[in-house]
Amino acid sequence: MLKRHLLGAAALLAVATVQADDYSPAYTQCMDKASSTQGMLACIQAETRLQDERLNRVYKQLMGKLDGARQQDLREVQRTWVKYRDGNCAFHGKLSEGSLYRLEGAICVMDMSKDRAAELERVLSPGQ
């Protein structure tokens, strides 16, 4: 059982490290220095805050460019997306036990937030 958890933690660290290239330099540096699950979780949480700020900024910019009907459409879609992200990441987090639960769920939120911010950036500035 312990061996399975250690293998799972090693796999999560490898995945988080590979994905680090898509994130802020601070995240990459933090993960390089993290020597524990707690340390990795702190890195993930800090990057999630940055990605959430990015997402909120882009969402507000996009809302400013849309007319009333399209603003309402985006608002509804965004609310649906947040519910999906939260439910999806809670599900992924429950697939494993202990500290792996926290890491898997946290990585899911971080990844999905980053991807959604990038998606809205493409809508805001098509072709770039």
52-61, long-range: CB < 8 A, 24+ apart:
52/113, 54/113, 54/114, 54/117, 55/113, 55/116, 55/117, 55/120, 58/117, 58/120, 58/121, 58/124, 59/120, 61/124
Domain count, the chain: 1
Give the per-residue pLDDT at 20.
42
> Taking 50 as the threshold, does the pLDDT of residue 15 lie above it?
no
How high is the mean pLDDT of the chain?
A: 86
Which domain does 69 fall in, by range?
Answer: 2-124
pTM: 0.80
Q: With cut-offs at 50, 70 and 90, classify the pLDDT of residue 22.
A: confident
Which tens digit of pLDDT belongs to each residue from 54-88? 999 999 999 999 999 999 999 999 999 999 999 99
We report the CATH number of the domain holding residue 87 as 1.20.1270.180
